[in-house]
């Protein structure tokens, strides 16, 4: 009998029920062939029953017809001789069961998973003793209770069958749809580009025009300015970004771009970089609208706090580091002007073929409070692809940047930035243009373009502050000292040519002003302009160019926005002889 109970402990509830059902059938067969005399002569006690053969296979076999059956009186005597059993909910309640017992796992499953076993009132299981039929009956009853609770009755199964018959057509249709969906999923998996790469894209439709009709004179030249007749234009920029991650924390980005958006400093010659749009891009050839690889970089973490960014093409410091103008920085949905997006100090080294390396490290970081200190360093070579001449990754023009970000509280961020550059405009074609301008500060009669012969040290301060959810104020101020390092800008022991350039701005942004996704923006400041130089020439007029810009972004939907706005430049190119330059634009952006 002990082997039978061990077999019960190893069996699932369904198997146990099947076992006792088989035994009952065997007993019925014996009753049918037994005489009344046999039934009227009960045995003395339940213990007088002949024992079953010692084989656990009897649990699942019908050999009961070979055994004599007891009477009811015998069973009653047996019940009196056996203490009652109590239901347990955990195998740990059975004091004589040890994890080392050979049937421990099976017993634990019956007790804890099915609640389908009982123990003695004294908290023991007595697994090594023979079980009485009453003990077997108690165990069977517990298993039947579980089955009745967890499985459907015949009536419930009949109801379910009736419902299946009633909705047979609908179920067949649903099954067909599932089959088609599985087929389409299999086709997509077989034909998909890659499981590692995601595509995101943006499309800009631009309508713009120069609303004034004069061209800006270069700094220091007398008026009146020449007449400029322009037409409204409609043009487009398309960007396709392929982002690939090989292990979840890295990113390889390849961007294809097609653009024919006008550059108002050259294609429609306003005479100054101050009126450029912030999304005119770098088309090749200019204005063709042909797709090209515009940007390529790979970023990955270095230790828990560091991140390394390798730019292969189209490198920009403003993409790699915090530029402290979160709502206006995007060319897709931010400010309309080139100057209004962020401090031009981040444009040092930016070029279509710029390559370099950037590194960010969180010295202190408290994500819960939103505070921390971050160190940033970077290097860009704008002509890194040129194998000959004064070019390449190390032998040509370059820009190096160092920045410290400080977030003393969650809604305030401050930054101090330093750049050293050689052979380029330290503010990336954002300010005044022409000889003796921010773009060419050391121009002289000996060299109309001294940019390849100059170096510059620039320092900038930036901040962004969001006192309430629907208002953000940001700003910056930058100063650059530009000096000659090669003839004719510098010929030892002759005097070294030097110049000073400044710019500053304050911006206001109101996100979700009317409805979610809307943005009202205002920019006021002075674009990069020359304030002093020792190069002979016309006198320099300092601090008299101003930039004023206002726009409103309407969120048509989550993926579509329309941004009309106006850009006004007072005294463009720091020349009071110039008329105010006004550019109107409507930018429609689709992102997906």
Q: Where are the domains of the chain?
A: 91-152, 241-540
Bridge partners of residue 418, in order along the sequence? 402, 459
Angle at 235 between CA 546 and CA 284, to 5 degrees: 90
Token pair of 585, please? 């634009």
Please give the average per-residue pLDDT across 104-108, as a whole number. 80
Give the model's confidence band at 282: pLDDT under 50 very low, under 70 low, under 90 confident, else very high. low
Query: What does the alpha-carbon distance between residue 39 and residue 44 come to, in Å, rounded to a whole number?
Result: 13
Question: What is the arithmetic mean of pLDDT over 107-122?
Answer: 75
**pLDDT, mean of residues 521-541:** 93
Please give the pLDDT value at position 52: 38
Q: Which is higher by pLDDT, 250 or 122?
A: 250
Instruction: Report which of residues 228 and 523 the model is more confident about.
Output: 523
Write phi, then psi, for 473 (nearest 5 degrees).
Answer: -120, 135
Residue 99 has pLDDT above 80, yes or no: yes
Residue 481 pLDDT? 98
Q: What local confidence, expressed as pLDDT, does residue 287 receive?
A: 52
Mean pLDDT, the chain, rounded, equals: 82
pLDDT digits 0-9 by tens, 334-358: 999 999 999 999 999 999 999 999 9
Is the pLDDT at 425 greater than 90? The verdict is yes
Q: What Å distances lie between residue 145 and 21, 59, 375, 406, 486, CA to CA?
A: 15, 20, 67, 66, 96
pLDDT in the model for residue 32: 37
Tokens of 403: 């920045």
Give the single-character DSSP code of 353. B
Above pLDDT 70, what percent of the chain? 80
The more confidently predicted of residues 36 and 415 is 415
Q: How confident is the model at residue 137 (pLDDT cuts 50, 70, 90)?
A: confident
Spatial CA neighbour of 441 closest among 459, 427, 460: 427
Question: Between residues 424 and 286, which one has the greater pLDDT?
Answer: 424
Q: What percent of the chain has pLDDT over 90?
A: 57
Is pLDDT above 50 for 182? Answer: yes
pLDDT beyond 70 at 274? yes
Which residue from 306, 572, 278, 590 is spatially nearest to 439, judged by alpha carbons?
572
Does 557 score more than 90 pLDDT? yes
Number of residues written out for the chain: 592
Cα 543 versus chain centre, distance: 43
Mean of the pLDDT values across residues 171-192?
84
For residues 330 and 336, give the distance between their C-alpha atoms in angstroms, rounded to a whole number.
9
Question: Is pLDDT at 150 greater than 80 in this prediction?
Answer: no
Instruction: Please state, in angstroms and as integers, the Cα–Cα distance from residue 569 to each residue in 207, 383, 575, following that order.
Output: 19, 31, 11
Which residue has 């080294």 as its token pair?
A: 349
Mean local confidence (pLDDT), 214-232: 90
Per-residue pLDDT, 151: 66
> Is pLDDT at 84 greater than 70 in this prediction?
no
Is residue 313 within 8 A of residue 293, CB to CB? The reply is: yes
Q: How confident is the model at residue 431 (pLDDT cuts 50, 70, 90)?
A: very high
* Whole-number Å distance between alpha carbons of 278 and 264: 11
Mean pLDDT of 303-307: 94
Name the pLDDT band for 545 (thresholds 50, 70, 90).
very high
229-247 pLDDT, tens per residue?
889 999 999 999 999 999 9
Q: At 427, list the tokens.
A: 């503010």
> Span 129-155, mean pLDDT?
70
Averaged pLDDT for residues 37-54: 37
Instruction: Find out whether the peptide bond into 301 is cis, omega within 30 degrees of 0.
Output: no
pLDDT the model gives residue 147: 66
Mean pLDDT of 253-270: 88
Those residues with Cβ within 8 angstroms of residue 263's Cβ, 6 or more apart along the chain or in another chain: 276, 277, 280, 286
What pLDDT, on the 0 to 100 scale, is given for residue 396? 93
Query: Nearest to residue 50, comparing CAs of 36, 77, 70?
Result: 70
pLDDT of 49 higher than 70: no
First to last CA, the chain: 72
Q: How many Å apart are CA 240 and CA 115, to the nearest integer?
A: 60
How many CB atoms are closer than 10 A to CB 171?
13
Q: Average pLDDT of 83-94?
A: 68
Name the most confidently modeled range: 186-200, 433-447, 492-506, 510-524.
510-524
Element (H, E) at 168: helix 168-191
* Winning range, highest mean pLDDT, from 46-50, 94-98, 252-256: 252-256
> Residue 319 pLDDT more than 60?
yes
Predicted confidence at residue 449, as pLDDT, reads 87
* 68 contacts 50 by C-beta, under 8 angstroms: yes
Rg (CA), the chain: 42
For residues 289 and 260, the model is more confident at 260
Q: Rank 85-89, 125-129, 379-383 by mean pLDDT and report only the highest.
A: 379-383
Write out pLDDT tens, residues 4-34: 344 444 444 443 333 333 433 333 333 334 3
pLDDT at 36 over 80: no
Looking at the predicted structure, is the pLDDT value of residue 127 above 60?
yes
Q: In the prediction, which pLDDT does 484 show?
A: 94
Q: Quick check: 446 pLDDT over 80?
A: no
Q: Is residue 393 predicted with pLDDT exceeding 80?
A: yes
On the question of pLDDT at 194 being above 80, the answer is no
pLDDT tens column, 452-489: 999 999 999 999 999 999 999 999 999 999 999 988 88
Q: Give the per-residue pLDDT at 250.
A: 96
């Amino acid at each position: 009998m002990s082997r039978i109970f061990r077999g019960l402990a190893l069996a699932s509830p369904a198997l146990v029920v099947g076992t006792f059902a088989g035994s009952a059938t065997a007993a019925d067969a014996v009753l049918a062939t037994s005489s009344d005399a046999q039934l009227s002569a009960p045995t003395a006690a339940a213990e007088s029953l002949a024992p079953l053969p010692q084989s656990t296979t009897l649990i699942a076999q019908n050999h009961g017809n070979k055994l004599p059956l007891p009477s009811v009186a015998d069973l009653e005597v047996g019940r009196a001789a056996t203490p009652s059993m109590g239901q347990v909910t955990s195998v740990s309640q059975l004091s004589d069961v040890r994890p080392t017992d050979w049937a421990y796992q099976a017993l634990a499953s019956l007790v804890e998973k099915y609640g389908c076993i009982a123990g003695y009132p004294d908290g023991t299981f007595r697994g090594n003793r023979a079980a009485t039929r009453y003990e077997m009956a108690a165990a069977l009853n517990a298993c039947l209770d579980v089955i009745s609770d967890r499985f459907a009755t015949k009536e419930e199964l009949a109801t379910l069958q009736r419902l299946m018959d009633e909705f047979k057509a609908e179920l067949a249709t649903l099954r067909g749809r599932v089959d088609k969906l599985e087929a389409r999923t299999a086709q997509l998996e077989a034909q998909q580009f890659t499981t590692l790469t995601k595509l995101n894209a943006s499309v800009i439709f631009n309508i713009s025009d120069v609303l004034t009709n004069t061209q800006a004179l270069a700094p220091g030249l007398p008026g009146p300015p020449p007449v400029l007749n322009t037409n409204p234009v409609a043009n487009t920029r398309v960007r396709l970004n392929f982002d690939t991650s090989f292990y979840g924390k890295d990113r390889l980005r390849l961007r294809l771009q097609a653009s024919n958006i006008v550059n108002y400093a050259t294609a429609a010659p306003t005479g100054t970089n101050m009126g450029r749009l912030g999304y005119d891009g770098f088309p090749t050839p200019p204005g063709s609208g042909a797709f090209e690889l515009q940007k390529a970089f790979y970023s990955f973490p270095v230790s828990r706090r560091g991140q390394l960014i390798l730019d292969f093409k189209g490198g920009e410091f403003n993409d790699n580091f915090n530029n402290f103008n979160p709502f206006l920085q995007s060319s897709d949905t931010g400010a309309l002007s080139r100057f209004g997006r962020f401090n031009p100090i981040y444009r040092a080294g930016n070029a279509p073929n710029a390559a370099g390396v950037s590194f960010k490290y969180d010295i202190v970081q408290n994500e819960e409070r939103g505070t921390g200190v971050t160190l940033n360093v970077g290097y860009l070579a704008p002509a890194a692809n040129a194998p000959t001449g004064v070019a390449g990754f190390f032998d040509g023009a370059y820009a190096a940047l160092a920045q410290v970000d400080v977030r003393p509280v969650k809604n305030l961020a401050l930054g101090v930035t330093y750049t050293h550059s050689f052979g380029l405009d330290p503010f990336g074609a954002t300010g005044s243009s022409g000889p003796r301008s921010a773009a060419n500060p050391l121009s002289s009669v000996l060299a109309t373009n001294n940019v390849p012969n100059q170096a510059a040290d620039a320092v900038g301060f930036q901040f962004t502050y969001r006192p309430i959810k629907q208002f953000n104020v940001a700003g910056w101020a930058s100063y650059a000292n530009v000096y000659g390092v090669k003839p004719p800008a510098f010929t030892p022991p002759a005097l070294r040519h030097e110049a000073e350039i400044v710019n500053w701005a304050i911006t206001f942004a109101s996100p979700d002003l009317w409805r979610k996704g809307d943005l009202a923006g205002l920019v006021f400041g002075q674009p990069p302009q020359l304030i002093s130089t020792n190069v002979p020439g016309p006198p320099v007029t300092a601090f008299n160019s101003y930039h004023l810009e206002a726009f409103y972004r309407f969120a048509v939907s989550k993926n579509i926005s329309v941004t009309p706005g106006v850009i006004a430049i007072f005294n463009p190119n720091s020349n009071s002889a110039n008329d105010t330059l006004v550019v109107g634009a409507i930018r429609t952006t689709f992102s997906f």
